A and B are shown apart, each in its own frame.
Chain A
Amino acid sequence: MTNAWTDIKNTDLVIVMGGNAAEAHPCGFKWVTEAKHHRGARLIVVDPRFNRTASVADVYAPIRPGSDIAFLMGVIRYCIENDKVQWDYVKNYTNATYLVNDAFGWAEGLFTGYDEAKRDYDRTSWEYQMNEDGTVKTDPTLTDPRCVWNLLKEQVATYTPEFVENLCGTPRERYLKICEMIGATSARDKVMTSLYALGWTQHSKGAQNIRGMAMLQLILGNVGLPGGGVNALRGHANIQGLTDIGLLSHTLPGYMNLPTEKEIDYTTYMSTRGNKPLIPDQTSYWQNTPKFMVSFLKAMWGDAATRENDWGFDWLPKLDVAYYDILRMFDMMSRGEVNLYFCQGFNPLLSFPNRAKLTQALSKLKLLVTIDPLQTETGHFWEDHGIYNEVEPSKIMTEVLELPSTCFAEDEGATVNSGRWLQWHWPGATPPGDAKHDTWIMANIFLRVRELYRKEGGVCPEPILNLAWDYEDPYEPEAAELAKEMNGRALQTLYDPKDPAKVLVEAGKLLPNFGVMRDDGSTMSGCWIYAGSWTEEGNMMARRDNSDPGDIGTFLNWTFAWPANRRILYNRASCDLQGKPWDEARKLIEWNGERWQGFDVPDIAVTAKPETVMPFIMTAEGTARLFSRKLLRDGPFPTHMEPFESPVENPFNAKLRGNPVARIFPDDLAQLGTSADYPFVGTSYRLTEHFHYWTKHNRVNAVLQPEFFVEISEELAAERGITKGGRVRVWSARGEIWAKAVVTKRIRPLICNGKPVHVVGIPLHWGFMGAARKGFGPNSLTPFVGDANIDTPEFKAFLVNIEPAAEEGASA
């Protein structure tokens, strides 16, 4: 989230697209009802199904799964055409005026530089025109045909209402009504917020879906404002924390990257991370990367990390591929390239695509270890559960160890919510049986492995032997110890660089913020963005003061939000060029002539002059990017791409299948189906009665939604002879499932290019373990392919077929 849950109350218009906030985030959704009740805010829902969010929406529009980019580019086109643009914002706070390399272009669905054999772009041309001093050429008049704005206009010109209607299946008058409502928020005193979740990420072009909305919000001038922003609703309670502390295979804590094998030493690694401002006087905060990196390395290896050994840089793993995401790991596993798999708090057998492939992959492991409070399907993948898990246990040689761990309610620590709030919590219950905290399990494994290295040596033992491990009880580090380590502390006394007599932080003290970090080894911090969360003043995450002086939902004394307790990112953009709020009634911060002040922590140096330093301090430009340069693999602008399995051809280029640069393994390519065999569009989603695959273990949740089902329209039911509540078989090129049929008016055939497209809605939550009835997940059907930038699997659009089935137990 750029903003916070509590901030939604400040909005005038909520658009829920690429998510189902009411069902998947019912608690957070209270702020939507709050905005509706007390501000008269309107709610738009765009979704293939009329879902429970739509039930309280002012306007609902259906959309064909996987066509969101077309919809969003169409809205941008509408805004440009109808002058629904916050011009002062766009001209000053975005890169609209920047000139782009002449070689850059787009044709037939592809940007310049496409290499079909490599499934990749040569992104050289995706760049600005530069002055000799390394700054960007701009045209403040927006007349140069090569300026970002004009390229954008050209890019979205195709997405006319007719085009959108034909591609997305969204009825035109409904679409135009939504355009009108969205366009109205280009006014300075009107703000829209976008709430999205996996409905946008789980596509082979997930990142581009989100960019589409980010660009729209920039054009409307809605980013950085209270009640605005682009807000990712995170799933698991601490999934935000997972990305923050770098648990993805290619990241380090605080959104730094793991080095690649080409970055052979610290200097090489830093050479591409200078982040010199592209416009004079801009902040370009990532210039501080060395401070955060050295502090991180000091947290890792303590005294063993020295300037002489590049702070232990060599001990970091180096990536030989882009990343070892879960799809890649399972693909390797399926080819027998993985021996041991640790599965901590994770149930991939139901969470990742093409279950048959996952079962086959797990069967090739020598050892599988699961660490989980529940008995997961993954841990029991070798058990025969009839149609629900058809395997031959005698043929599976994998040894499985299930280590029972505690659940969140039995732990102490912070979880990070979607609004980046680190909220400390205390155990509410005692762990049952032999369950142990994850920290205990990890510490005990680590200490034993270290002992083995000590005794027996091994290849590259240093990262293990040198790992800083100074916890009071090395076998069970306390949550508080870990939190303080992430916050960081001064290793030597820090003096003010401007006034060497002034002590900023004494040696050994906790860091007050990341501003004091150094790249000379005098500070350490496990996760720089968490600096300030546990200071000498105490545990900031445990604060529970819900006063809100500005009545604007910032609650600065309630827990701690990264970075620097800031509640709305880019909040400098809530003010005009002179530093006055765009909307006086919605004042967050303002420039008082000398400094920035207000009800939130300013997202800019407090003395940064408003007309000089632009709000987007994390970019080298100081502005937000409508044109994203080389940063995304699949294009500097979003362009419509069909899902890998689609009943509709890419209108720009019939030869293109899916995202042209998304990685797909050969076996999986061969397992894609076509609409000739699988005429219907499957899409997966969650139901509010359950949380993922956890709550099916709970009797109460099982009562509220007991049995797996699929949802189809009355039209499709009639076409296939399916009755409400009857049993159906759904199958794809990769697998088959059986379910009860919910036949509903809430799903309607979408008319795309004059032809009906039927959607089959497939909720997840069921498996073969737990209290609820045995069932299936959509992952038995979905293709083994992910987003081009991060490889989030394409769970939201795939092809299936459906037919009535005999009741369970009845002979077919």
Chain B
Amino acid sequence: MTSERAPEPVTAAANPPLQPLASNLLPSDVIRVSATSDVPAPERHLTEVAKLIDVSKCIGCKACQSACIEWNDTHPDIEENVGVYENPHDLTPDMFTLMRFTEYENPVTNEFEWLIRKDGCMHCADPGCLKACPAPGAIVQYSNGIVDFISDNCIGCGYCIAGCPFNIPRVSKTAHVSKKCTLCSDRVAVGQGPACAKACPTKAISFGTKEAMVELASERVEDLKSRGYDHAGLYDPQGVGGTHVMYVLHHADQPSLYAGLPDDPQISPVVRGWKGPAKTVGLAVAGLAAAGAVLHGIFARPNEVTAHEEGEAEDLVEDHDQRHGDREA
């Protein structure tokens, strides 16, 4: 049975098709693969998609978290209350998204603000996790912008954690693979938006083409400015080439107010160095040293002990015995 390919999704609100559609996210749509340099150029380029999280519309209800748990069939622990609203207390291998709550007293307006941000993978255009990953094919990036972890190829080393500028991936203690938001690549593949966006009751989470989301954001920024948020803006950090999860922030000049959202995220120079020049130079130096040793071994004269020296040694030992005898005598 041949079935039609699903359309590319343009909204999270679309209802599922009545007939199953074939995936429209193909292996050939992959444009980057971890630890792999020779990715074939894709035949087509999918429209870039994005999730827009409007912090000013978010009521922190955690419907996104519950939709994420349900869709991905994860089983986070029932933890305890530690005096805050975050539950689970952090992202975990079973909780790919998390509402983070910040109590903020605005020194300019003297107003109290409760800033609530949905944390999760940002799907960077230049993904630090993918750069850091040593396992070929464990992390892939599709031409629509989705950065996905392929658990079958993951070795659980946690390098992606060091690579990520947003502190997102979490390695499972049991399965030993790294987990994070997939932007519901499995739903997007069949023309659906992410589960969290679909579940969001206040449309704080929108999903569509990146272009449409940027446009929607500018509409929202204008509204926020009319409410006195002079620094309202879109968070689409260019330090990582832009992201496919973006925020509308009331205080776009201070992203870090929102539970430490990085002000200017980029792949750490340390990681760049490590995964860039160091990787090549290090291997080259080691290789050259080994080659040099081999060449030296072949062409240079070995350091050999001569028969004369063996004799000298005997003499030396005897000499000592002699002197010993002399002294005895």
Contacts and interface: CB of A to CB of B under 8 A. Distances in A.
A23 B59 contact: yes
Nearest to A37: B223
A750 B237 CA distance: 41
A703 B59 contact: no
A33 B202 contact: yes
A29 interface: yes
B61 A689 contact: yes
A699 interface: yes
Interface in A697-716: 699-709
A772 B88 CA distance: 13
Interface stretch (B40-48, B75-83, B130-138): B75-83
A728 to B, nearest CB: 11
Contacts of A58: 227
Residue with the highest number of chain A CB atoms closer than 10 Å, among B62, B81, B103:
B81
A260 B84 CA distance: 52
Contacts of B79: 703, 706-707
A699 B73 CA distance: 12
Contacts of B21: none
B105 interface: yes
Interface in B163-209: 201-204
Contacts of A538: none
Given A29-B201, A55-B59, A50 B114 contact: yes
Contacts of A699: 75, 78
Interface stretch (B64-72, B259-267, B285-293, B294-302): B64-72
Residue with the highest number of chain B CB atoms closer than 10 Å, among A37, A53, A702, A744:
A37
A109 interface: no
A32 B57 CA distance: 10
A773 B79 CA distance: 9
A58 B223 CA distance: 12
A26 B80 contact: no
Contacts of A318: none
Given A37-B220, A704-B87, A746-B103, A50 B58 contact: no
Contacts of A29: 59, 201-202
A724 B59 contact: no
B93 to A, nearest CB: 14
A362 interface: no
Interface of B is mostly: loop
Contacts of B57: 33, 36-37, 56
B233 interface: no
Interface string A19-43: 0001100110110111011001010
Interface in B93-135: 95, 103, 105, 112-116
A90 interface: no
Nearest to A687: B85
B155 interface: no
Interface residues of B, number: 42
A689 B87 CA distance: 10
A54 B112 CA distance: 10
B103 A40 contact: no
A56 B59 contact: yes
Contacts of A742: 81, 83-85
B112 A26 contact: no
A745 B202 contact: no
A746 B79 CA distance: 23
A26 B59 contact: yes
A250 interface: no
B81 A772 contact: no
Interface in A718-758: 723-726, 740-746
A771 interface: yes
Contacts of A26: 59, 61, 63, 201-202
A172 interface: no
Interface string A640-670: 0000000000000000000000000000000
A334 interface: no
B151 interface: no
A771 B78 contact: yes
Contacts of A708: 81
A55 B116 contact: yes
B226 interface: yes
B87 A746 contact: no
Contacts of A745: 103, 105, 112
Contacts of B105: 745
B81 A22 contact: no
Contacts of A702: 78
Contact of A33 (B83, B95, B203): B203
A37 B227 CA distance: 11
Contact of B83 (A27, A36, A743, A773): A743
Given A740-B80, A740-B83, A741-B83, A704 B62 contact: yes
Contacts of A52: 59-61, 114, 116
A706 B81 contact: yes
B203 A34 contact: yes
B56 interface: yes
Contacts of A773: 78, 80
Contacts of A701: 66
Given A55-B60, A56-B57, A688-B61, A707 B81 contact: yes
A782 to B, nearest CB: 22
B201 A27 contact: yes
B200 to A, nearest CB: 9
Given A55-B116, A772-B78, A30 B201 contact: yes
Given A700-B66, A706-B81, A23 B61 contact: yes
Contacts of B83: 709, 723-726, 740-743
A704 B79 CA distance: 9
Contacts of B65: 704
Nearest to A695: B66
A723 B81 CA distance: 13
Interface in A670-709: 688-689, 699-709
A703 B114 contact: no
A706 B78 CA distance: 6
15 contacts: A26-B59, A50-B112, A52-B61, A55-B115, A688-B62, A699-B75, A700-B69, A700-B70, A704-B65, A705-B81, A705-B85, A724-B83, A742-B83, A772-B78, A773-B80
Interface of A: 22-23, 26-27, 29-30, 32-34, 36-37, 40, 42, 50, 52-56, 58, 60, 688-689, 699-709, 723-726, 740-746, 771-773
Given A37-B203, A688-B60, 8 more contacts: A37-B219, A55-B58, A55-B113, A56-B202, A58-B227, A701-B66, A705-B85, A740-B81
Closest 9 CB pairs of A and B: A725-B83, A724-B83, A22-B59, A707-B81, A55-B114, A740-B81, A688-B61, A26-B201, A725-B82
